[in-house]
A and B are shown apart, each in its own frame.
Chain A
Amino acid sequence: MTLLAQYFVTGIVTGCFLILATIGFSLTRRVEGFLNIAHAELLGVSAFTTWGLNVGLGWPFIPSALVGIVFTAFLGLFIGRVVYDPIRRLGPAVLLISSVGVAYVIGGAVDGVIGTGIRTLDIPLATTYRFWGVRITDYQMIVVALAALTGVSLALFLNKTKTGLAIRAMSANPELAASRGIDVRQTSRATWLIASGLAGLAGVMLAMIATLSTDIAFRQILQILAVAILAGLGSLYSVLLSGLIVGIAMDMSVYWIPAGYRPLIAFAVVIIVLLFRPQGLSGRKPS
C-alpha cells in the first residue's frame, strides 16, 4: 500500500512537470492555431543552456536557470517570427509539418554542440523527506510548487492583464480581435515569449529532477501530446487536470505492469481520447 502511495506521489510530480511542459504547447495551439512539434526541443535548449552555464562556466544554479529560460523564450520568439509567421496563411497542416523541420534543426544543433553522453547539473544532492513512509525530495516539491504557481499566475495573467485578455480575444476570434483594435502582431509575439519561456522553465525542471541526454527532448513531446489531447487541444485550464491524470496514470501503472510500458500508457490515453472523446476533458468543440 505504501508502495502504491509512493507511485501516486511520484505521479503527481510527473504530472506537475507535464503541466509545465504542456501549458506553453497548448497556448501556442490556441493562439497560433497549430501543433508545434518543436516545442519539446525548446525544453532541451533551456536544459542544456542551464547545464552549460552551471557546469561549463561554473555559475550558480539560479542565475544559470534564469538565463536559460530567458534565452529559450527569445529563441522561441525568433523562430515564431522567422519560420511560422510567413507561412501562417498556408494552414495548420503545413505549420505542423514545418515544425518537424524546426525540431530537426534545434535537435541537430543541440546534438552538435553538446554531444552524446549523460549529464547532470552541479547542484546539491536532493534531500529526501518522509511523510508516513512516502518519500519526496526537495526538488520534486519545487516542481509541484512551481506548477501550482504557474497555473495561478497564468489564470491571473489571462484574466486581469491587457495582454492576457488580448491573447484570449485572439484565440477566440482573430479577425474580430483585429477589427476591435487589438494589435495582433504584438499579441502573437507575447504568446511566443510566454509559451517558450514556460518551455524553458519546464526544461530547467527536467534538468533538476532527471539526468540529461540530448535525446531527452524528443521523448517529452510524446507525453506533451498526450496531455494536450486529453485536455482538449488548445484548452489551458484542463491541462492542469489532464497533466495530473497522465502523470499519475503513467507512474501508478508501474505497480501492475513492467516499467518499460510507462510511455505506452500516455499513448493509450491519446488513442482512447481521440476515438471516444476528441474534444478532450474541456468539452470545447475541436476547431
Chain B
Amino acid sequence: MTAPHDRRVVEVSLGLFDQDLLAACISCGFCLPACPTYKLTLDERSSPRGRITLMRAVDSGRLPVEDPTVREQSSYCLGCRACEPVCPAGVQYGALLERWRDLTWSGTRTPPVAAALRAGMRMTPALAAAGRVRGAARTTGRARGDGLQLMLGCVERSLFPGVSQAVTRLLPGIEVPSGQGCCGALHAHSGGSAEGHHLADRLGDALPGTILTTAGGCAAHLVNVLGRDRVQELSEHLVKVWTADDAPRLDPVLVDGRRARVALQDSCHLRNGLGVSTQPRELVARVADYVELPSAGTCCGGAGTYSLLRPDDAAAVVAPKLDEIDRLDLDYVVVVNPVCQRQLVTSLRRRGSTVPVLHLAELLALALPP
C-alpha cells in the first residue's frame, strides 16, 4: 500500500529571506522557555518559533509585510538572541531578525525614534565632539598600526565617558585612534542592516588593527561583519592577557572595610552571539565577591533602541531583575554593554534603588592601586 499524502502542503518562497536560515527551524519549540517575551505572555505569537512562522508566511506571500501582527511581533522582539544557544538546530535567529526588521521597518515604516537615532549615529564628527565634551578617553591621533585599538562607541562615549577612561588606566598606552564613528549595530538591529554593515566596514578602516570594545552588542555586530579575528571584547581580552605572572596589581574593592558584593548583568549579544559569559564573571571575582543574579543571562530590556521605542515593555522585562537586585543586598551591579548600563541605571533610579551600576572596566579600575 502506498499512502497518499495529499494533506501535506508545499511552501513557496518569494525569496525575501535567506532560505537556508529559514529552513533551519523545524518548529520544535525548544526556544520557547528561553524567550523573555514568551515568558511574559505565554503567547505563541511572541515566541521565537511563532515569529519565525510569521517570517515564513511573509516569505511565502501569505502575509504582507504590513500585517499588524507581523509588524508588532518584529518590534516586540527584544532581539536578545537567547533563543540561539538553546536551539539544537542551530537557527541563526539574530540574522533572521535583522532581515525581518529591514522589511518591516524600511523607509517610512521606520519608527521615528529609531530613524532619529540611526541618523544621529551616522554623524562621526558630532559623536567625537560629544565624547570630548563629556570627557571620554582622549584620542591618540590617526591609527598607527595593526595592534590593539580601543573603540569608543557612540552611546558610551557620551553617556558613560568614564568607561573608556577606565580602560586607558587598565591598559596603559592603548591606542585610541581618532576619526571613529558608530559601528552600525544600532542600524543593523533597527531595519538598516545594509547601513549597519557599511558603518562597521568604515569603523574597520578607521581601526585597522584588533578592535577592543567595551560594548558586547558592538562586539557581536563587528564580529559578524569584520570577522572574529578582528574583534576583542574587553573581558575576553583581559582574561587572555592578564595571566598569572603578567597582570597589574589589583586590590579588593572594599565597601565598609569588606569585599564588595558584586553581581553581573550579561550582555545578551556577548553571551548569546559570541558565547562570552565566564570571562566577565572571572574578572569580577578577582576583585570582589561575585554574586550570580538568577536572571543575569536574561535581557534587561535595554536591547538597543528597545527601551526608547517600547518603554512599558522594557519596564516589564526588567522588573523581575530589579526585584532580584533588591533581594541580593548588592554593592554594585556590573555591566559589559552601555545600553544595559543605561537601562539599569534609569530603572533602578526610577525605583528608588541606590545600588550603583558600573561597567566592568570601571569596577576593575577601582581595584587598581591609587
Q: Does chain A bind chain B?
A: no
Q: Which A residues have a C-beta under 8 Å from some C-beta of B?
A: none
